Structure 1
Amino acid sequence: MTSTVAGRFVAYGPSHWAALGVFAAGCVVLVLVGRAQRPTSVTSAGFGGEAKGFARGFALAIVYAVIGIQIYWMLPGQWSIGSSLPLELCDVAWPAVIVALWTLGWRGFALAYYWGLTLTVQALLTPALNAPDYPSINYLKFFGMHLLVIWAAVYLTWGLGMRPDWRSYRFAVAVTAGWAVAMLLFNSAAGSNYGFLNRKPDSGSVLDLMGPWPWYVLVEIAVIALGWALITWPWTRHRDRP
């Protein structure tokens, strides 16, 4: 358990467990809702009006949440070049899941699947949140952001039945690599640390197991590429059989 002063967030303290409980309950509900809407043939053209309507309503809910949160963090009293810009991968995942829900297309789904079900889940389980505890805006922003992204990926995958393939894998790897290069350059110029690509978070994280900079970045790339391949293969192995 992270040691901190009273009134601040503690990893695996009561408020963290509460967020994880809400996360689990939301996953169950969205899987059940999606399965009730699932068509016989899972293609973007095959989804019925009920699925499209719910998915677009979900997308609009995320848009409203994004707008409110970003306006708050752009206010003069909150602004910081190192934390206010929507450049974290979980921030970039918001437009990806919005596109995925709105279009029910494979590109948006690919990013929602790989980003939402690996990196965003890891952030939820090992939160680098050095901030006041619930109900602070920092707490609500952090967990609200991550929960919405993961819930969207769960709804699309185990609810509606959308599936990744190796084309999805290659697309997600290429987009993520482009984001990482852009963030390394931006962090170097601005003195920021988006994505923890230029230094590790001050609080403990899984990156502590991967060595010093820049080696932990290289290890992280290898782990992500391998992990994404492993969560692609089960969905494709039956399709690969003659």
Structure 2
Amino acid sequence: MSTTAINSGFALFGESHLATLGLILAMSLLLPVAVRGLAPHLARPIGILLALLLVAQELVQLALMLQRDGPTPEMLPLHLCALAVWLTAWVLITASPRAFELVYFWALAGTTQALATPDLVQDFPSARFILFFLGHGLVMVGVLYALIVYRLRPVPASLIRAPLITVAVAVVALAVNASTGTNFMYLMEKPAGASLMDWFGPWPWYWLPLLAIAGLSFLVLYAPFFIADRLNARKQQRPVES
């Protein structure tokens, strides 16, 4: 992967990129841990504040798109990262376990990839750069906040529901792409910048490795909960010493 920008100053894993990733990682871990340990009474107000920030930055992005291009199909929330913004906000407001199980996988399997290889052509301090990392970063903060503070988690059935819903969203996105010329979920062509898809061959053959990696990612992301459940079950089965 090249670290040079594409028609602009953005550099993959350049100083601004790495600094932003470090800030997002720090906030994703420190904020939930601090709230849970030091201010549990503020758990819901801070969660709602994060939700409002997510919605606000998404509305700003939509307003800028509307001002620049007018109403277009591109404004539909059919990229998984855009859907993750709205779903994360919903989780932070409602603490919905079903919504969390979906956004947990989308964020940690998909949003992390977007953060690592962003589809950007402008570097900091462009509005595009700031809004991109603000939106994706807040999703990560929100998901880990719900995990650590709200104590939400996926369950075994999540490994069935989440992939099925993801595939259903992809089918809808593909139909919209075919009828409007859009590229939601990058189903019609790869991102312009360097990404994991560069290793997977031409369209449409890169769909197959993406499906395989998504399935493997879901299993890996559920593994810590599976292991914890097994350990707890064994602990409960041990005879009580007299």
Q: Same fold (TM over 0.5)?
A: yes
What is the aligned partner in structure 2 of residue 116 from structure 1?
Answer: 107
After superposition, the Cα gap between the structure-2 partners of 1:169 and 1:5, relative to the gap in structure 1 and judged at 3 Å, is closer
Higher alpha-carbon deviation: 182-191 or 84-93: 84-93
1:71-150 alignment to 2 at 5 Å?
71-75=63-67, 77-79=68-70, 81=72, 83-130=74-121, 132-150=122-140
Q: What is the Cα deviation at residue 5 of structure 1?
A: 6.8
Q: What is the Cα deviation at residue 227 of structure 1?
A: 1.3
What is the aligned partner in structure 2 of residue 179 from structure 1?
Answer: 169
Task: Tell me, in whole angstroms, the C-alpha distance in 2 between the residues paired with 1:163 and 1:224.
Answer: 19
Q: Is the 8 A contact 1:10 1:16 kept in 2?
A: yes
Task: Tell me, in whole angstroms, the C-alpha distance in 2 between the residues paired with 1:157 and 1:188.
Answer: 37
Q: Is the 8 A contact 1:34 1:156 kept in 2?
A: no
Task: Tell me, in whole angstroms, the C-alpha distance in 1 between the residues paired with 2:57 and 2:193.
Answer: 27
Q: Name the structure where helix makes up a greater proportion of residues.
A: 2
After superposition, the Cα gap between the structure-2 partners of 1:49 and 1:175, relative to the gap in structure 1 and judged at 3 Å, is farther
**RMSD across aligned C-alpha pairs, in angstroms?**
2.2
Q: What is the Cα deviation at residue 237 of structure 1?
A: 3.4
What is the aligned partner in structure 1 of residue 29 from structure 2?
Answer: 28
Q: Which amino acid aligns with 1:30?
A: L
Q: What is the Cα deviation at residue 16 of structure 1?
A: 0.7
After superposition, the Cα gap between the structure-2 partners of 1:159 and 1:6, relative to the gap in structure 1 and judged at 3 Å, is same
Q: What is the Cα deviation at residue 34 of structure 1?
A: 4.0
Q: Is the 8 A contact 1:30 1:159 kept in 2?
A: no
Task: Tell me, in whole angstroms, the C-alpha distance in 1 between the residues paired with 2:7 and 2:211.
Answer: 36
TM-score by length of 2: 0.86
Q: Which amino acid aligns with 1:140?
A: I
Q: Is the 8 A contact 2:29 2:141 kept in 1?
A: no
1:190 maps to 2:180: yes
Q: What is the Cα deviation at residue 71 of structure 1?
A: 1.5
1:133-172 alignment to 2 at 5 Å?
133-172=123-162
Q: Is the 8 A contact 1:112 1:152 kept in 2?
A: no
SS, match of residue 166 in structure 1: coil
Task: Tell me, in whole angstroms, the C-alpha distance in 1 between the residues paired with 2:197 and 2:8.
Answer: 26
Q: Give a deviation string over 1:126-151, Cα, whole Å, max 9, x none.
A: 11212x22121111121111101111
Q: Is the 8 A contact 1:37 1:160 kept in 2?
A: no
SS, match of residue 118 in structure 2: coil
> Which structure would you say has the larger Rg?
2
After superposition, the Cα gap between the structure-2 partners of 1:82 and 1:210, relative to the gap in structure 1 and judged at 3 Å, is farther
Task: Tell me, in whole angstroms, the C-alpha distance in 1 between the residues paired with 2:189 and 2:42.
Answer: 45
**Identity rate of aligned residues, in percent?**
31
Q: What is the Cα deviation at residue 95 of structure 1?
A: 1.2
What is the aligned partner in structure 2 of residue 54 from structure 1?
Answer: 46
Q: Is the 8 A contact 1:97 1:153 kept in 2?
A: yes
Task: Tell me, in whole angstroms, the C-alpha distance in 2 between the residues paired with 1:28 and 1:204.
Answer: 27
Q: Where in structure 2 are there 5+ consecutive unaligned residues?
A: 235-242
Between the two proteins, the alignment pairs up a number of residues equal to 231
Task: Tell me, in whole angstroms, the C-alpha distance in 1 between the residues paired with 2:7 and 2:105.
Answer: 36
Q: Which amino acid aligns with 1:105?
A: S
Q: Which amino acid aligns with 2:158?
A: S
After superposition, the Cα gap between the structure-2 partners of 1:23 and 1:238, relative to the gap in structure 1 and judged at 3 Å, is closer
Q: What is the Cα deviation at residue 204 of structure 1?
A: 1.6
SS, match of residue 206 in structure 2: helix
Task: Tell me, in whole angstroms, the C-alpha distance in 2 between the residues paired with 1:156 and 1:57.
Answer: 13
After superposition, the Cα gap between the structure-2 partners of 1:80 and 1:21, relative to the gap in structure 1 and judged at 3 Å, is farther
